Homo-oligomer: A and B are copies of this chain.
Amino acid sequence: MTWSCLNLDRQKGIDVLFNPKSIAVIGASSTKGKLGNDVVRNLIDSGFEGRVYPINPKGGEILGLKAFRSVSEVAGEIDVAVIVIPAKYVLPVIEECGQKGVTALVIITAGFKEIGHEGQEAEKKIVEIAEKYDMIVQGPNCLGIVNTFAPYNASFAAGTPEKGSVAFASQSGALMTGILDWSLMEKIGFSKFVSLGNKAQLDETDFVESFGRDPDSNFILLYIESVVDGKKFMEACRKIAPHKPIYVVKSGVSTAGARAASSHTGSLAGSDTAYSVAFKQCGVIRADSMSELFDVANVFDDCHLPGGNRVAIVTNAGGPGIITTDAVEMSGLAMAKFSPSTIETMKKGLPSAASVYNPVDALGTAQPQDYALCVDATLQDENVDAVLVLLTPQAMTKETETAQVIVESKKKYPTKPLLAVFMGGNSMTYPRIVLNEGGIPVFDFPERAVNAIAELYRYTVVRDSLKDETPPKFKVDKKRVKEIIKHVRNDHRRVMLGSEAHVIAEAYGIRVARTQLATSAEEAQAIAAEIGFPVVMKIASPDIVHKSDIGGLMIGLKSEEEVKNAFLQILDNVRTHVPRAVVYGVDVQEMAMKGKELIIGCSRDIQFGPLIMFGAGGIFVNYLKDVSFRLAPMTRSDASDLIAETKMGTLLQGVRGEEPSDIDAIADTILRISQLVCDFKEIVELDINPAFAYEKGNGVIAVDVKITIGGE
């Protein structure tokens, strides 16, 4: 796999960081229990074959290694410097490292950004100095780094993970310690183990890119609380996801808080929506919980990807078989239908009361050889994509021997995912060890195992749906939009008048209901006569968001007389209900033929940029909540998927004998909006609500367009 790196220098640095020939531990200590002692010990215990230079002002010897008073005292080159001294001493040491020609810094020391402004300033200085000397920086405030293939453990973690194919980076060091401890028990192997810390310089994207290039890493797992650069992250992941699964737990869903929003799009997009949408659009799979992330690591380390979603269940108990079948069918997987020869094999070998259809119930009396028979038969069946073995501890059950025969089956058929659920407590402890050591992920309850298979399968679906497609580029009138934005700014407004917003939409090739601002009843009459009756009239005021709620909207006006009365009535209503509103007049609008009511909108996410919303429009949009989201710029596939995700998308296809709506025209409108908000960062919020969609070939018309621009 080859692709252009986002930051080649950093990637070269990370290569050294993962495979150093020499490491200095600045703050190394001979006192057990000190971090500077843990790091040196881990380096030695992990079997690191390069040079280790403990640095300590007192010199002497640390864990059998000669200690140096400073990096400058070291004669040879230093690739990586691990820093575990108190924060106040860090800056001069970095300068020293730079002068020494160190390539990469792993700053374990805490007491920077996380303690407030002062720390943040120091952190900035770290990066400044490092970049002056072309050094890369991991941390500060991190646990360290592990490459099990070097092998090399430069962390203060309590142990070294087993060697395996999972690359893991985490924004929480404490979480890593828990995962590490777990993984040693469950025999999950990691290739790389990276604590991101405060991400002063190297961030999740840098490591994801490195994992993507790494032949030792087949799976990428992340725990993050935020992404430093949303676009960069998406770009990197989009290149890797077709080749390697990327799973992420993104926490901080609840703490991000709701954002202030005046548009429907803004208020319907939760604070975390952009993250979910971004992950989806770049092929990253979001795990719902820590345990799911852990389970995913467990199966990815042990299993190949399944060829499809057909699961076989082998059990010694009916009840758990039913529960597991429920879980399979509810998680997007399917129960495999066995080939006749599989059924025949099991029929011959099992008692007649056994069920040889899926789920296979080998009965409570099932012995290890019965399990061997069924597991082998289902593993070799080409109608089966994954096998899940359940065991309950019944009177005649031989737990350990059964675990052993399952491990033998795995050896015979190593490529098909094989998972186990051994239900129970103490009696299952040793059998679980046997399974884990045999490379079979084992779970306590069936639902988690099924979910883990579903996650394996999910990646294959995501991978196959990823398309190499670029957003379309429409011919548009950017100049006209610029003029209007300038005009609105000169008027010291943020909210555009309807007539202005309509012109902008039109400049981007979106069909809009003709709209003109009238400042007097007479003018309204003249405009209406020109547009043709009937017309719609709407108050033109940046201060009024929901016009219909306060009598600021009248429809179906059929004569000049009605237009005149409507003009006066609307102004009167507004004066009564919103006496302080600044009123620019009344918009007179062509009355568009009613179609399916849609909303197309945009709000802006601070990390990921323009977030486009599509769904069922009209005044009840906030109650129906039939909407979905994508980040701009969008491709044609994005637009189709976005529409299809909503219930409205189904209705637009034409159900109950209705003609299908003009879905191409809707997609086109969405893509033009996508282009508009990418071209003009000034547009912070935009709602077209409603747009009317007509039958296929008859297009879409934007009836009400609202645009808010940001400060300069």
Chain B residues near A650: list those with CB within 8 A: 623
Residue interface bits A637-655, CB-to-B below 8 A is 1, else 0:
0000000000100110001
Chain B residues near A252: list those with CB within 8 A: 322, 326
Task: Please state if B291 and A651 are interface contacts (CB–CB under 8 Å).
Answer: no
Given the interface pairs A223-B319, A290-B447, A319-B170, the reply to whether A178 lies near B424 with Cβ below 8 Å is yes
Chain B residues near A179: list those with CB within 8 A: 423
Task: Please state if B251 and A319 are interface contacts (CB–CB under 8 Å).
Answer: yes
Identify which of residues 542-572 in chain A touch chain B, using a CB-to-CB cut-off of 8 Å. 546, 548-550
Task: Please state if A249 and B651 are interface contacts (CB–CB under 8 Å).
Answer: no
Given the interface pairs A393-B178, A444-B182, A624-B647, the reply to whether A323 lies near B425 with Cβ below 8 Å is no
Most buried by B among A186, A353, A427: A427
Task: Please state if A174 and B326 are interface contacts (CB–CB under 8 Å).
Answer: no
- Inter-chain pairs besides A175-B323, A177-B392, A178-B424, 17 sampled, C-beta below 8 Å: A33-B395, A115-B353, A156-B395, A170-B319, A179-B423, A181-B427, A184-B425, A251-B322, A254-B325, A255-B325, A288-B447, A290-B320, A290-B323, A291-B445, A294-B445, A548-B656, A549-B657
What is the CA–CA distance of A184 and B426 in the complex, to the nearest angstrom?
A: 8
Chain B residues near A619: list those with CB within 8 A: 656
What is the CA–CA distance of A517 and B254 in the complex, to the nearest angstrom?
A: 59
The yes or no answer to A185 lying at the interface (CB within 8 A) is yes
Identify which of residues 247-296 in chain A touch chain B, using a CB-to-CB cut-off of 8 Å. 249, 251-255, 288-291, 294
Residue of B nearest to A224 (CB): B319
A494 to chain B, nearest CB (A): 24
The yes or no answer to A69 lying at the interface (CB within 8 A) is no
Residue of B nearest to A294 (CB): B445
A622 to chain B, nearest CB (A): 8
A351 to chain B, nearest CB (A): 11
The yes or no answer to A172 lying at the interface (CB within 8 A) is yes
The yes or no answer to A109 lying at the interface (CB within 8 A) is no
Task: Please state if B174 and A319 are interface contacts (CB–CB under 8 Å).
Answer: yes
What is the CA–CA distance of A656 and B547 in the complex, to the nearest angstrom?
A: 10
What is the CA–CA distance of A546 and B658 in the complex, to the nearest angstrom?
A: 13
What is the CA–CA distance of A641 and B18 in the complex, to the nearest angstrom?
A: 60
Task: Please state if B182 and A423 are interface contacts (CB–CB under 8 Å).
Answer: yes
What is the CA–CA distance of A323 and B249 in the complex, to the nearest angstrom?
A: 9
The residue that A330 contacts in the complex, of B254, B353, B656, with Cβ under 8 A, is B254
What is the CA–CA distance of A46 and B623 in the complex, to the nearest angstrom?
A: 59
Residue interface bits A183-218, CB-to-B below 8 A is 1, else 0:
111100000000000000000000000000000000
The residue that A174 contacts in the complex, of B254, B291, B317, with Cβ under 8 A, is B317
Task: Please state if B181 and A656 are interface contacts (CB–CB under 8 Å).
Answer: no
Chain B residues near A477: list those with CB within 8 A: none
What is the CA–CA distance of A326 and B326 in the complex, to the nearest angstrom?
A: 28
6 examples of A-B residue contacts, CB within 8 angstroms? A156-B395, A158-B427, A178-B320, A181-B393, A252-B326, A294-B445
Task: Please state if A322 and B225 are interface contacts (CB–CB under 8 Å).
Answer: yes
Task: Please state if B291 and A444 are interface contacts (CB–CB under 8 Å).
Answer: yes
Chain B residues near A655: list those with CB within 8 A: 620, 623
The yes or no answer to A302 lying at the interface (CB within 8 A) is no
Given the interface pairs A427-B181, A656-B549, the reply to whether A174 lies near B364 with Cβ below 8 Å is yes
Given the interface pairs A181-B424, A185-B425, the reply to whether A255 lies near B322 with Cβ below 8 Å is yes
A452 to chain B, nearest CB (A): 13
Task: Please state if B171 and A319 are interface contacts (CB–CB under 8 Å).
Answer: yes
Chain B residues near A185: list those with CB within 8 A: 425-426
What is the CA–CA distance of A394 and B158 in the complex, to the nearest angstrom?
A: 8
The residue that A317 contacts in the complex, of B156, B175, B427, with Cβ under 8 A, is B175
Residue interface bits A300-334, CB-to-B below 8 A is 1, else 0:
00000000000000001111101101111110000
Residue interface bits A435-454, CB-to-B below 8 A is 1, else 0:
00000000011111000000
The yes or no answer to A704 lying at the interface (CB within 8 A) is no
Residue of B nearest to A272 (CB): B326
Identify which of residues 651-675 in chain A touch chain B, using a CB-to-CB cut-off of 8 Å. 651, 655-657
A409 to chain B, nearest CB (A): 22
The residue that A177 contacts in the complex, of B186, B289, B394, with Cβ under 8 A, is B394
Task: Please state if A395 and B353 are interface contacts (CB–CB under 8 Å).
Answer: no
Chain B residues near A701: list those with CB within 8 A: none
The yes or no answer to A79 lying at the interface (CB within 8 A) is no
A460 to chain B, nearest CB (A): 22
The yes or no answer to A428 lying at the interface (CB within 8 A) is yes
Residue of B nearest to A448 (CB): B291
What is the CA–CA distance of A38 and B115 in the complex, to the nearest angstrom?
A: 63
What is the CA–CA distance of A619 and B249 in the complex, to the nearest angstrom?
A: 41
The yes or no answer to A154 lying at the interface (CB within 8 A) is no
What is the CA–CA distance of A637 and B470 in the complex, to the nearest angstrom?
A: 55
Q: Lowest 6 A-B CB distances belong to which pairs?
A: A172-B319, A174-B317, A185-B425, A178-B423, A181-B424, A254-B329
Task: Please state if A316 and B425 are interface contacts (CB–CB under 8 Å).
Answer: no
Task: Please state if A446 and B290 are interface contacts (CB–CB under 8 Å).
Answer: yes
The yes or no answer to A396 lying at the interface (CB within 8 A) is yes
Chain B residues near A175: list those with CB within 8 A: 317, 319-320, 323, 392, 423
Residue of B nearest to A178 (CB): B423
What is the CA–CA distance of A625 and B558 in the complex, to the nearest angstrom?
A: 38
Task: Please state if B289 and A447 are interface contacts (CB–CB under 8 Å).
Answer: yes
What is the CA–CA distance of A550 and B657 in the complex, to the nearest angstrom?
A: 8
The yes or no answer to A35 lying at the interface (CB within 8 A) is yes
